Amino acid sequence: MKVLARMAPPLPTPGFPAKGPHHDLLTSHRLTNPTQPGSVSGRSGPGGGGEMTTNLQRTVVEVGGLHWATSKAVVENVLRQRPGVMAVEANAVAQTATVSFDPAVTSVGQISGWVRDCGYHCRGVSVPDHVCYPMDDTTGTAGMKHATTAKHGGGHQAAGHVHPGTAQPETSHPMHPHAVPEDHAGMHAGHAPEPAKPHAGHHPPPSHEGHVQHGGAGRTPQDMMGHGGHHAGMSMDDMVKDMRNRFLVAAVLSIGVTLWSPMGRDMFGFTVPAPFGLRDDVIALILSLPVIFYSAWIFFDGAYRALKARTLDMMVLVAIAVGTGWLYSVWITLTGGGEVFYEAATVLASFVLLGHWFEMRARGGANEAIRTLLELAPPVALVIRNGETVEVPTSEVQTGDLLLIRPGSKIPVDGHVEDGQSEVDESMVTGESLPVTKIVGSEVIGASINTTGTMRVRATKVGADTALAQIVALVQEAQNSKAPGQRLADRAAFWLVFVALIGGTVTFATWLALGAGVQAAMLFGITVVVITCPDALGLATPTAIMVGTGLGAKRGVLFKNATALEVSARIDTVVMDKTGTLTKGEPEVTDVVIEGIEEAELLALVAAVEQESEHPLAAAVVRHARENGAPALTASDFLNVPGHGAGAIVEGRRVLVGNRKLMADEGIDLGPLATVRDDLAATGRTAVLVAVEGKAAAVIAMADAARETAAPAVAALHEAGIEVVMLTGDNEATAKRIAGQLGIDTVIAEVLPGDKSANVAQLQQTGKKVAMVGDGVNDAPALAQADLGIAIGAGTDVAIETADLVLMRSDPLDVPIALRIGKGTLRKMRQNLGWAVGYNAIALPTAAGVFAFAGIVLSPEIAALSMSGSSFLVAVNALLLKRLRLPRPETPEATTTRTSQPLTPAGNR
């Protein structure tokens, strides 16, 4: 174990965001480097006139109908060209997009309208179920009406927010309601507890006039079509069912098309004549019409939208492959008949739909964690109004409402207990496995479960301000953000489509030049176009990121962006602040050494004196006495001696509790207890002396209480090959003692608060990838300096907003959990990218007929199956991340017996 003291000189401290007095569960992203991936610079977007702006806001909106991973480029390209939009990160897996924009130029309502202009569906801001009513499908950029019904099934619900205030300032995390600008009165005007007005983030219940019914009259053009907007308002499960139906139609009709084709006649020996005396190619044309204009229409519509947005995606490839074969066959049929391959076009469409159906099912599994979060909020709440209990939708609960929470029910919104007490299960929100005791004045979290007693809770945060909505927003933004590797993969996917189109054309021309017929050459060309799979590249990292962030969210580990997830995989050194991170930040009794008196009797006497004192050390002694069953006694004639201790009469005996100076002033001889006191103080404990009736009776040692999982956390980090460094302002003796107990490798002791970032920088200069774990204001510069800043959830706002990763449970064991999730996610990302690149490298020349001399030739149908299978395998491989083995306190890898607690001296009294 290495021990260092005062590493100097300090380096310049990087700036970190200022913060107001409000303390929410989680707060803002830091933007210390505007050029880093996922961040937003201060420049205006393409349509913004190039003016500088600092008041950027960020929101997560729904984008329904993103069938393909590469289709997100359509939304991104279109929105980036709109005035006021600074950055867009769409996610086909989550069906959402994170948009950063200038509220002075545009609004959430306009952004939603632009998404619909792309041909996709958007109901506005994505928030948990039962929190807000969704936007009406037919609304444009203003004057948005409420939907008549709110669908509470799976998938995201969207708030009916129309003001820019529904999004959050770029310099503040979307989960921080206090950072919302003043000009969004339309959203927050109702936060005052006035029953007649809606509160923040909510619209009034959908009962007033002006609602548009969900039906033919109120549907958008996209809703009326069997594509794009066809999936408007659908959950991922509904989209999967729709894709299944399209496949089944295509598969059934393709059987008939194939039977009345040359393949059916020659290969399968099918001899039944075509109905009504029609030619085989005519009946094949008729049977193919539903396949092309229903099942495969999503390909043509998607290709049109992609080309309109000046991008290339998977839809373009499939549309060209299917359309070319089918149109060629139609031309031959209409000009008198001949060699046609309707069966190639329809079977190709069927296989693509089959693969995409399986792929979407896998993508839905990747998004399971966020969907679980979205569905946690209860649909109704019991509100006490005018002395009566009324059941109202959760979306109508207002700030200041008094809620009745019965045993076994979910708490609908955040608040504090005004009456009653109970045990509350917060595991689904914070990851804390044990129920938390709630008494009058305790804070409660919406969506947590009341287990035992009945409580009355005053609502303090509702709608988009609740902890659940904030967590959802953070996880969604992390899932939508792009890791550095994904940005390269997205560019590669675009060019891969281009290469496929050029390659298909060159293949067609080459085979024609070599003397092959038009049909054979066309089949080779179509096969090249079809087998290319940019979707595998597009899905390679988003699916892994979705599963990784979801896995973390279930354990209370919240990554703020994909870059943090990727960086966490490369960490080799973890620096931990001691107080509040490795320790609880409160003293506890570690040793009681007695002289001539029974321990139970002594504890009862000392507790009687200390319960009259307000000193934190006194509270620790009283707590220890109660825990050890000491009888409760009453003290009289209590006298506090500032800086020295206290005394009182207990059971007729004079009891003194304090430091050596108090004992000397009272003329008390410490005897052998003097040596005991010195030995305990030398190890960093705070030693309190006790005298009874003028005689030294005991030494009680106290120290900062270590968290129960501190030692298991260090053990788990060591197992992962990560060095653990403890950073503390304590003296070297105290630091060495706690480091020895927990098995910490290196101690940097006697560090001034302002020098923490300098010490982190010096570790980085030796080539280490450093993660800093802290919770205090003085930790914020070090969190910003580190490669990965990890904030304890119970810490200060500044520490949380400066960090890249937040631990909701304030549990050190979540540090190795987070790093293991990062490593597992990066491993899956690399595996997926390797497969995607390798598949295309082999598939393209094979499809082009390069190996035809060896008898290796692929048909378009097999190519389609291979292409779809590639995407499916990438998604399934990412889902295997759910099987990642994470450290737990009860497992051998993370079990260390904590023998004692003394860490930091609390100072003599």
Active site residue 577: yes
For residues 402 and 384, give the distance between their C-alpha atoms in angstroms, rounded to a whole number. Answer: 6
Rg value, the chain, Cα: 33
d(CA 490, CA 872): 18
d(CA 27, CA 13): 21
Kindly write down the DSSP assignment for every residue of 259-308, as one continuous string: HTSHHHHHTS---PPPGGG--HHHHHHHHHHHIIIIITHHHHHHHHHHHH
CA 527 centroid distance within chain: 39
- Candidates 581, 638, 624, 613; CA nearest to 774 is 581
Q: Are 578 and 724 in contact (CB under 8 A)?
A: no
d(CA 15, CA 26): 20
Which of the residues 577, 755, 779, 814 is marked catalytic? 577
DSSP track, 35-89: TSTT---SS--TTTTT------EEEEEE-BT--SGGGHHHHHHHHHTSTTEEEEE
Cα separation of 673 and 80, whole Å?
75
What distance in Å separates the CA atoms of residue 828 and residue 493, rounded to the nearest whole number? 18
Distance, in Å, from the CA atom of 197 to the CA atom of 904, rounded to the nearest integer, reads 52
Terminal-to-terminal C-alpha distance of the chain: 32
Question: 829 and 544 in contact (C-beta within 8 Å)?
Answer: yes
Residue 355 phi, psi (nearest 5): -60, -40
Q: Do residues 907 and 686 touch, judged by C-beta distance below 8 A?
A: yes
What is the phi-psi region of residue 652: left when phi exceeds 0, alpha when psi lies from -120 to 50, beta otherwise? Answer: left
Residue in this structure with the two tokens 């101690």, named with its chain if needed: 747
**In this structure, what token pair is assigned to residue 881?**
């991340």
Q: How many helices (H) and strands (E) does the chain have?
A: 28, 29
Residues tagged active-site: 577
